[in-house]
Amino acid sequence: MKLDVNALRYLTKDEFRVLTAVEMGMKNHEIVPAELVDRIAGLKHGGAYKNMKTLLRHKLTHHDSSKYDGFRLTNLGYDYLAIRTMVSRGLISGVGRQIGVGKESDIFEVVTPEGETMALKLHRLGRTSFRAVKSKRDYLKHRNSYSWLYLSRLAALKEYAFMKALGEHGFPVPRAVDWNRHCVLMTLVKGYPMVQVKNLSDPAKAFDTVLGLITRLAQHGLIHCDFNEFNLMIDDEENITMIDFPQMVSITHRNAEMYFDRDVECIFKFFGKRFNYSPPGIKMLKGPSDAENLDDDEEEGDGRPDFETVAGGEESLDKVLEASGFTRKDQETLEQFIENAEGEEDLSEEEEEEEEEEKEDDSENLQAENVDNISNAGGSFQKLTVDDRLDEEIDSSRD
C-alpha cells in the first residue's frame, strides 16, 4: 500500500480544522452529525460544509446517512492528522514506501528535514477484530467507534514508552523519537527480520544474544510476549535489534510464566528448525521415538531458563513507564483488548467491504515486495509541507 500523502500539501487550514472537528466529535459519536462538525469547527457562514465535501473526496472521512447526515474519520484521515503534527513539529518532511505490515500496523519509511531516513509505525488496533470485541465486551461500551482511535493511540503510546525505557537501559531497540495519536517515529533498523535469514555464520552467538534478551527483560520485570523471528531484526554483522512492544506485560501478570516460556520456546523452535541449532548439552528431538528415549531428568533440565529464577532482581521498568504517561490503567485496557481480540473475527459483509476499501492492498504482495527491496532503502519520498499557523490547534486535540 502506498500512503498517499499528496493531498496533505494542498489541504487548507480550514479543511484541517474541520477534520480535527470530526476527530473530536468521535469521542462521543459513532457518526458525527454534520451540524456538530460545523459547530466544533466554528467557521463562519457554514464554511465547514464545503470543507466536509473536500475531506470526503480525499477519503479522509466516511459519510453515513443511515440515521442522520454524519461523518467519521477513516484510517487515512487519522493518518493525515498524525503525520501533519509530525511535520509541524519539524520531525519529518517526506513519506516513502511501506516497509512493513503487521496484523495491527503499517510501517513506512519517512525522511527527516535533515535527510535521515526513519521508520514511522502506524498502529491499527481493531482493524480486523475490534468490532467483534465491541459486541461482547462492555468495558468500551461508551467509546463505540472512537475505540479504534483510542486503542491505536494507546498502543502507540505504549510502544513509544517501552522503546524509550528499553533503549535507556541498554537494550538493542530502535531509538524512540516521538509519537502522536497512533504513530510512533523511530530510527530505521538496518537489517532484516530474522525470518528472512537462511544462514548465520555464528548461530550460537545469535542464540545466546536472543535468549539473553528474554532473561534480561525478565530481570527488569518485563516479558515481550511476541518474541519471535518476525520481531527480531538482524544485520549483516549479525547484530540483533528487538522491535514491536505493544503486547509486553509485567512479570506480575497472572500468566507471566506462560508468556515467558512461550517466548523462550519460540526461539528454541526457530533456531532448531532454521539453523539446525540447539544449545550444547541439549539433544535435538528428531521424532517421537527420540522423545520416548529421553528419561525424566533430561526432560526437566532442558536448557530453558526458569522463569522463577530469572524474573526480577534488576531495577523494574514499571516506574519509568508510568513517568512517560503510560498508566497501569492504560495497560489493563490494552491487555483486555489484546486477550479478547486473539483469534476473533466477525465482520458483516458491508463492514468487510469497507475494511477492504480502506486497506487497499493485500499484505502478502507487500511482503514479497519487501524481500526484493529490502536492501535498497532510501528511495523516493513524497514531500510534505504544512501551514504552520494551524499547529497549535491541531496539537490541542491530543488528550
List the catalytic residue out of 79, 106, 226, 244. 226
If binding is defined by CB under 5 A, does position 244 make contact with Mg ion? yes
- Per partner kind, with CB cut-offs from 5 to 8 A, the member of Mg ion, ligand ADP, none near residue 103 is ligand ADP
Of the two residues 84 and 121, which places its CB atom closer to ligand ADP in the complex? 121
- Per partner kind, with CB cut-offs from 5 to 8 A, the member of ligand ADP, Mg ion, none near residue 49 is none
Binder of Mg ion out of 33, 59, 69, 102 (CB under 5 A): 102
If binding is defined by CB under 5 A, does position 367 make contact with Mg ion? no
Of the two residues 247 and 331, which places its CB atom closer to Mg ion in the complex? 247
Find the residue with minimal CB distance to Mg ion: 244
Of the two residues 102 and 279, which places its CB atom closer to Mg ion in the complex? 102
Please say if 226 is a catalytic residue. Answer: yes
Which positions lie near ligand ADP, rule CB under 6 A? 99-100, 102-105, 107, 119, 121, 174, 186, 188-189, 193, 230-231, 243-244
Of the two residues 15 and 244, which places its CB atom closer to Mg ion in the complex? 244
Of the two residues 70 and 246, which places its CB atom closer to ligand ADP in the complex? 246
Find the residue with minimal CB distance to ligand ADP: 102
If binding is defined by CB under 5 A, does position 196 make contact with Mg ion? no
- Per partner kind, with CB cut-offs from 5 to 8 A, the member of ligand ADP, Mg ion, none near residue 100 is ligand ADP
State in angstroms the smallest separation of the CB of 119 from Mg ion.
Answer: 12
HEC states along the chain? CCCCCHHHHHCCHHHHHHHHHHHHHCCCCCCEEHHHHHHHHCCHHHHHHHHHHHHHHCCCEEEECCCCCEEEECHHHHHHHHHHHHHHCCCCCEEEEEEEEECCEEEEEEECCCCCEEEEEEECCCCCCHHHHHHHCCCCCCCCCHHHHHHHHHHHHHHHHHHHHHHHCCCCCCCEEEEECCEEEEECCCCEEHHHCCCCCCHHHHHHHHHHHHHHHHHCCEECCCCCCCCEEECCCCCEEECCCCCCEECCCCCHHHHHHHHHHHHHHHHHHHHCCCCCCCCCCCCHHHHHHCCHHHHHCCCCCCHHHHCCCCCCCHHHHHHCCCCHHHHHHHHHHHHHHCCCCCCCHHHHHHHHHHHCCCHHHHHHHHHHHCCCCCCCCEECCCCHHHHHHHHCCCC
**Can you give the binding site for Mg ion, defined by CB under 5 A?**
102, 230-231, 244
